Amino acid sequence: MTIRLIICMWAVMLVAPSVVSGIYIWVPTDQPTIQAGIDAAIDGDTVMVLAGTYSGPGNRDIDFKGKKIWVYGFGGADQTIIDCGGTSTELHTGFIFQNNEDSTCLLTGFTIKNAWYPLQQDNSGAIIIKGSSAPVISFCTIAGNHANGIAVTGPSTVKFLRLQISSNDGWGIWMPMYPYLSVGVRIEECRIDHNLLGGAIVTRAVESTFVTRNTIVENGGHGLFLQGDLPARMQSVAWDTTTIIERNVFAFNAGKGIYAMGYFPGCQYHYNNLFGNKSGDGVGYSADTLCNITADPLFCRQASSQPYGLAANSACLAANNVCGVDMGAFGQECPSCCIGFRGNVDCDPSGNSDISDLSRLIDYLFISFTPLCCVEEANIDGTGSIDISDLSRLIDYLFINLYPPASCP
């Protein structure tokens, strides 16, 4: 077993240690399908799903049936894949929670793709959580679905930990408004990006929501949409609607970074980085804001297998910001993409600095703000930030004194 899997199992056992006290049911050796494994399980059992791609009946529309069990993709999300095979005429999802499952119900380590549900339906999701069901879902990838990534359609205390929710045709996480509240929703250390229809997250009519240490970027709408309209019968009473939005990165979304509207008292916006969101970085803030910054997060992009890992000089790292805290789901992960002297802003394979690099830097600073392929190359003067002084230094090098830029780290 790899170190990553050991850490994953340990982390989830901390959330609900009482789950892993029964027997192990292996799929497909003990049972042929994931649903068959769940059907054979009793409270406390663990359904261990071996690496592979699972499709067809019994491996989609999977129902936990209210059991207090752990369904675990043993190969991790990269190797344990649910292919829902949905189409416009054959609707399918990955998992459904609809029998009041609680936090002793765990789902870990799967990729879920090709779910198909009409986007106008509240229960459109690659994972659907109904009623008062409140599972803990962790270390999963939910990507490439014609649906929302996750749909929560009831008063849930659901917890999402270390998820990647990417490239879905709806929202990343969709929580439609109902005449009751969801209480204690937690969204932590997730990567939510490139979801097309409505941005990253829609959270409506919720109490005590915690959105912490997430990287929410490059979505087709708002990064975080908070609509807090309570039913009229509730607005006349003292209602604890504390919502903590803390240590996240909201960047390069097509809408706003954070859009809070309606009746939503008690929001706390602390230690977030909001940058480059096309419709503005935030609106609807409460008075309770603390140490939010606006700085290019300096993602690794092409320089790393994790595109949203951070460069060493990123303002999202505690050592580089005035707040003294890390922001986002990822730490410093970028290998150096800079070779020799700085200045190859467009990442030309020749490594030369020329007029095209000047054009690319101008475009980044003043026009499109399109993320750079290598932030270290664009940090011409070596000071750590990319600004007008880097542009001036590159002009000086190309046309005036020809003195080389700073060396790469």
Tens digits of residue pLDDT in 121-156: 878 999 999 988 999 999 999 999 999 999 988 878
Report residue 64 as tokens.
């936990």
Q: Count CB atoms within 10 A of the CB of residue 349.
A: 6
Residue 291 and residue 323 in contact, taking contact as beta carbons nearer than 8 Å: yes
Mean pLDDT of the chain: 85
Residue 298: pLDDT over 70:
yes
Tokens representing 276 are: 């480059």
Amino acid found at 85: G
Round to whole Å and give the CA distance between 275 and 154: 32
Residues in the chain: 409
Q: How confident is the model at residue 371 (pLDDT cuts 50, 70, 90)?
A: confident
Please state the pTM of the whole predicted model.
Answer: 0.80
pLDDT at position 232, please?
46
Q: What structural domains and CATH numbers belong to the chain?
A: 3-294 (2.160.20.10)
Are the CB atoms for 157 and 181 separated by under 8 Å?
A: no
- CA 394/CA 372 separation, integer angstroms: 16
Q: What is the pLDDT of residue 107?
A: 98
The one-letter amino acid at 160: F
